[in-house]
Amino acid sequence: MNKRAMSIRSIITFTVLIVTICACQPFGNQDRKYPSTIGTFNVTGDFTINPTTILDSLNRGETNVFTSTLATPGDDTILPSGSIQWTQSDYLKVANTLSQFVWKEPLDGWLIYYLRLENVCQDNLNGFDSFTAIYYKTIGWGLGKMYTARYIEIYPLASIVYWAGDTDFPVSSSWAAIDISKFKITADDALRIAEKNGGRETRARAHNYCSVSVNLPVHKNDQRWDVAYYYSPSFEIIVDPYSGKYEIPTPVPTPSP
């Protein structure tokens, strides 16, 4: 990739990050029925990280890897798109350490309400450059039953993590009780399956000017991986997290005549 293309990618990444941050700010007292953005939580915070050293530090057993954010990061702190390709395991390790740092407890026993990993399209696509997860537990029983939830966002390209919590949500309907530790197919596996079955062709038609996301769940009663390539052309593939079997709701885009 030439320097001009990398510069354009970096600008796009920074712009999307800033828009996301602005969109996720709290919107005051609102009727919170479901957790969604960071703004649906009562208590929020953020820390800076060193994306080039944090994984090695955690592998050595070090946990003091988060520092206070003193200012909004500038252009020079945004790493080029594609320069970070962490695995699902990498992100979960950072998220679990962040949970212990903020809430003094690991994420063991917390179920996943929502999970999203993303990356820009590129050759030899492997791994992700951002991570968003909402975890929850059931509290209370009977008529007093509630969900308490926590929110974690990790942007290694921008050297920053966001967290939110201390918020309970009413039980109006059952949430998808996803225990990712029981999955046999990881988000990385789902991405590889997608690449081999239409994703690579989709990227080629877009000349890699696209993005890809791997999400959980597809919807409340469907806990499979949803791998989506977007925008124009777009492609989606749904992967079973236990068997690796897949289905393609929309066909692989064909070249324009």
215-249 pLDDT, tens digit per residue, is 999 887 789 999 999 987 899 999 999 999 999 98
| Mean pLDDT rounded to a whole number for the chain | 84
Q: Can you give the pTM of this predicted structure?
A: 0.82
Count CB-CB contacts under 10 A for residue 204.
Answer: 13
Spatial CA neighbour of 58 closest among 85, 99, 88, 96: 96
In angstroms, rounded to a whole number, what is the distance separating the alpha carbons of residues 214 and 193? 12
In angstroms, rounded to a whole number, what is the distance separating the alpha carbons of residues 233 and 253? 6
116-155 pLDDT, tens digit per residue, is 999 999 999 999 999 999 999 988 766 667 899 999 999 9
Is the confidence at residue 71, as pLDDT, over 60? no
Is the confidence at residue 13, as pLDDT, over 60? no
